[in-house]
């Protein structure tokens, strides 16, 4: 708590009550709930895409699910077990959460017939934190504002 008084003035600050509220349990619950929502989104999207008939539009997305679905599910499971205040959690949480959201969008687009057959999906964005320091960690990517691309083995690196 800081009080700024003009040094030339004689002033007294009276405080009749201080209440300290620990928001960490609430924040940890919100993080746990967010991970649980993303786990359900991923599971639903994977099941939805796997159950689609084989078409040019669904073929590549089925391959994305086959190549990445189980790995991302495992990453989300590990995140659920980690300390959400750790540097590792903060550094590693964005990619699997982003993948789950984008795969959910892809599954919806495939079901409605709006998906393009390529592995690049144009999607609506969801609100996300802005770039900048977050618990001493500067985000490396502007999450939510670029399209996601998945490479198959042997493909040249994407930028």
Identify each DSSP E strand in the chain by its residue range.
Answer: 133-134, 137-138
Of 91 and 135, more confident: 91
Percent of residues, the chain, with pLDDT higher than 90: 31
Of 60 and 155, more confident: 60
Domain that holds residue 89: 24-138
Per the domain annotation, does 49 fall within a domain?
yes
| pTM above threshold 0.75 | no
Q: What is the pLDDT of residues 60-114, one digit of tens each?
A: 889 999 999 999 999 999 999 999 988 889 888 999 999 999 899 888 888 887 7
Q: Are 104 and 45 in contact, with CB atoms under 8 Å apart?
A: yes
How far apart are alpha carbons 143 and 150 in whole angstroms?
A: 15
Q: What's the total number of domains in the chain?
A: 1
Instruction: Give which of 84, 77, 94 is closest to 40, Cα–Cα.
Output: 77
Per the domain annotation, does 43 fall within a domain?
yes
């Amino acid at each position: 708590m800081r009080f700024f008084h003009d040094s030339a003035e004689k002033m007294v600050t009276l405080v009749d009550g201080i209440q300290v509220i620990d928001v960490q349990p609430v924040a940890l619950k919100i993080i746990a709930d967010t991970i649980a929502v993303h786990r359900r989104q991923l599971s639903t999207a994977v099941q939805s895409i796997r159950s689609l008939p084989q078409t040019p539009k669904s073929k590549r997305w089925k391959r994305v699910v086959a190549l990445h679905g189980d790995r991302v599910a495992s990453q989300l499971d590990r995140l659920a077990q980690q300390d959400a205040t750790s540097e590792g959690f903060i550094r590693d949480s964005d990619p699997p959460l982003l993948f789950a959201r984008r795969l959910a969008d892809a599954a919806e687009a495939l079901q409605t017939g709006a998906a393009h057959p390529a592995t690049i999906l144009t999607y609506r964005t969801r609100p996300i934190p802005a770039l900048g320091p977050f618990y001493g960690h500067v985000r490396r990517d502007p999450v939510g504002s670029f399209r996601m691309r998945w490479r198959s083995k042997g493909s040249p690196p994407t930028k």
